[in-house]
Amino acid sequence: MEFIYTIIDPLICAHFGIFAIEYHEDHSVGYDYVVGALLRRQLKFSMPDDFSVGEISVSDELEGAEQIYRDWFLKELDRVGRRDLLGK
């Protein structure tokens, strides 16, 4: 997971405009659980402009995160206009 989101994800986002969170094993569900795992591991990831999660609680997943990671995530949520997800 770390290799994909620290090396591959930034590369494919910068060069092709695609996001690794949208390409996971189970296509019958959204990327909510992938995002939850990334938040718990404090791994940065590229966030699409239509970012949305409904199956997880972003606040709960961020509970043990360091402030620097929380700040990065808040900045990304602001960039895509989804700070409302913190209330879920």
Domain of residue 7: give its range. 2-87
What would the mean pLDDT of 64-77 be, rounded to a whole number?
A: 97
- The two structure tokens encoding residue 69: 């990671």
- The two structure tokens encoding residue 55: 């199956």
DSSP SS3 for 32 = helix
What would the mean pLDDT of 45-66 be, rounded to a whole number?
A: 95
How does pLDDT run across 23-42, given as a tens digit for each residue? 987 777 789 999 999 999 99
Domain count, the chain: 1
pTM summary value? 0.92
- The two structure tokens encoding residue 38: 């990334």
